[in-house]
């Protein structure tokens, strides 16, 4: 299994509480990217301290990369997006159907395209990828901003997990057909 040099998965090697806030598997076609943006915006809507705009942008870039550069863009291909709440923020994973190459950050800032992973590298606290025979999962971690209030006002981890559970309960959509029907997001 290939792993990147860019970082370590934020939950590997440590014992932490995590909550799956939502996941969706979409057909590998460009028309599905806007629905994925709506899914991310809705999933993170009530999660405190998370930069939802950055999460939406980075997920959109990774899904677009998966459709354009992997077998996910071939007929019958799919892309799966998982959103995981962790005590330090949120982890988003984008799994594709695999390709011959590995994810690469473009080193030409003046190129007309190819800036998706550069954005991920610049905006995420950590990012990386895992490759195996099933495909490639590119992930990023966005750190949560400090929550307002005094440190002695209860357990912040418990407050976070309570919020994450509430979001997960409201985020019932799990298929592309359900996303537009249940989304209240204006992201298109």
Q: What confidence score (pLDDT) does residue 15 get? A: 53
Q: What confidence score (pLDDT) does residue 62 get? A: 96
CA distances from 167 to 24, 41, 42, 45 (A): 15, 11, 9, 8
Q: What confidence score (pLDDT) does residue 158 get? A: 56
Q: What confidence score (pLDDT) does residue 157 get? A: 53
- Kindly give, in sequence order, each residue whose CB lies less than 8 Å from that of residue 54, ignoring residues fewer than 6 positions away: 123, 124, 142
- Domains, the chain, in order of start with CATH, read 26-180 (3.30.565.10)
* Closest residue by Cα to residue 26 from 187, 178, 183: 178
CA-angle at 119, arms to 67 and 27, nearest 5°: 15
70 membership: H or E segment, kind and range: none
- Kindly give, in sequence order, each residue whose CB lies less than 8 Å from that of residue 18, ignoring residues fewer than 6 positions away: 11, 84, 85, 86, 91
pTM of the model: 0.72
Q: What confidence score (pLDDT) does residue 172 get? A: 42
* pLDDT tens by residue, the chain, 188 residues: 444 444 444 545 545 588 899 999 999 999 999 999 999 999 999 888 999 999 999 999 999 999 999 999 999 999 999 999 998 899 999 999 999 988 888 877 777 777 889 899 999 999 999 999 999 999 999 999 865 543 434 555 555 556 555 544 444 444 444 444 433 333 33
How many angstroms separate the CA atoms of 56 and 44, rounded?
Answer: 9
Q: Give per-residue pLDDT as tens, 36-79.
A: 999 999 999 988 899 999 999 999 999 999 999 999 999 999 99
Give one DSSP letter per residue of 34-61, joined into a string: HHHHHHHHHHTTT-TT--HHHHHHHHHH
Reduced to 3 states (helix: H, G, I; strand: E, B; else coil), residue 140 is strand
Q: What confidence score (pLDDT) does residue 22 get? A: 95
């Amino acid at each position: 299994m290939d792993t990147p040099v860019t970082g370590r998965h934020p939950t590997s090697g440590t014992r932490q509480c995590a909550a799956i806030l939502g996941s969706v598997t979409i057909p590998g076609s460009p028309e599905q990217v806007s629905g994925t943006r709506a899914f991310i915006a809705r999933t993170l809507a009530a999660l405190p301290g998370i930069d939802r705009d950055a999460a939406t942008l980075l997920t959109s870039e990774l899904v677009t990369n998966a459709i354009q550069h992997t077998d996910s863009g071939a007929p019958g291909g799919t892309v799966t997006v998982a959103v995981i709440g962790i005590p330090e923020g949120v982890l988003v994973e984008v799994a594709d159907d695999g390709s011959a190459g590995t994810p690469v950050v473009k080193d030409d800032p003046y190129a007309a395209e190819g800036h998706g992973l550069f954005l991920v590298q610049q905006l995420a606290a950590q990012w990386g990828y895992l490759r195996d025979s099933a495909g490639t999962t590119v992930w990023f971690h966005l750190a949560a901003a400090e929550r307002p209030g005094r440190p002695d006002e209860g357990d912040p981890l418990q407050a976070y997990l309570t919020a994450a559970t509430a979001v997960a309960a409201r985020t019932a959509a799990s298929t592309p057909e359900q996303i537009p029907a249940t989304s209240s997001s204006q992201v298109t």
